[in-house]
Amino acid sequence: MPLASTINGKVFVVHGGLSSMDDVTLDDVRKLKRGCEPPESGLFSDLLWSDPQPFPGKSPSKRGVGYSFGPDITAKFLESNGLDLLVRSHEVKDEGYLVEHASKCITIFSAPNYCDSMLNKGAFITFTKDLVPRFTQFGHSPHPDIRPMAYAAGGGQMMGL
């Protein structure tokens, strides 16, 4: 799978977020070595684990890996790379998505009722031909009467396998 992607050269799509390093380009992202365990720091790690924050600048991440980045960091990255929008995921949002950083950063999260306990909606994005995002939200379906996340740890036991 790609580490990041662009849509029509205008929308940057990534799992986590932006880098702690200044002046990162799309070419820097393209040059990253794939097919290995992600390092604990650096551009590769930041793209996987960084999160937006509502205030300017950069801060250490609450995750202990990656960074938190503000609206100024988003604006600078997009402008210097000729992009219009950052789309990222990996962070539960009550409504399944959140638009922030002056509408330049969208978090999309497609797992409703994450871990069978968060009661969040899921959502996905479709883009118009003009790259305007359209959101579709959905709720969760009831699960079998088993403890939350039982299926995640070698779920064969719950199926009698």
In this prediction, residue 161 carries a pLDDT of 47
Q: Residue 119: is its pLDDT beyond 50? A: yes
Who contacts 80 (Cβ-Cβ below 8 Å, separation ≥6)? 23, 25
Q: Where along the chain do its domains lie?
A: 4-159
pLDDT tens digits along 13-62: 999 999 999 999 999 999 998 888 889 899 999 999 999 999 999 999 99
Give the global pTM.
0.88
Region 151-155 average pLDDT: 64
Note the CATH number of domain 4-159.
Answer: 3.60.21.10
pLDDT tens digits along 54-109: 999 999 999 989 999 999 999 999 999 999 999 999 899 999 999 999 999 999 99
Beta bridge partners of 134: 126
In this prediction, residue 35 carries a pLDDT of 86
Label residue 10 exposed, middle or buried (CB < 10 Å: 0-12, 13-18, 19+): middle
